[in-house]
Structure 1
């Protein structure tokens, strides 16, 4: 990573997240996370910000490091919710960041192996004897 995780997104992007006239819980959460140092981000923080496509060039590498350890890691919703949001990132981002795409493809390969191994066992388990 070519950035300092001891800095916040506001510091790294040299920008201030401007208050909105419409202050939903999500907007307030994103404003809060813009000020938080990246080293202190939780899985849920990554999930939220990546889901909003904020700070992707900083947060996707952190998310991929986490997903390499456990592709099914969860934020506050369900197992694999971080991976789900990473997979929803606009394809243009991946075209511009082929090194990150390579890492994502490694994670996807691991997930596919797991699914292909477990799915037949689940189907067999659920079948009446």
Structure 2
């Protein structure tokens, strides 16, 4: 019945800053960008190489996401990369802090966490 995840929706506090982060730093491709005047809201459709998508929304006055301690609900979004060290170095060169690289005790794969401009927890996970 379910085949794959089609998209993940993220609400940001500063559309310009988040658009730059997801397109210029993370390198996601823009599929569509729409301004909805009735909501004073942008909707940016972004795409990864496997065609999975992120919908980036801006809604004026939306509350901040509770994060630490972690709240119930979606914990984080993980991106597959070929080389975690290389991906973390790319993020660091662009001023994005990453946690120490760890090894998944079950799979033996390397991974680390970072945050988007609104503190949304994101992960890079080495997949071979």
Q: TM-score, normalised by structure 1?
A: 0.26
Larger RCO: 1 or 2 (CA < 8 Å, sep 6+):
2
Of Structure 1 and Structure 2, the greater helix share is in 1
Of Structure 1 and Structure 2, the greater strand share is in 2
Q: Which has the larger radius of gyration?
A: 1
Q: TM-score, normalised by structure 2?
A: 0.26
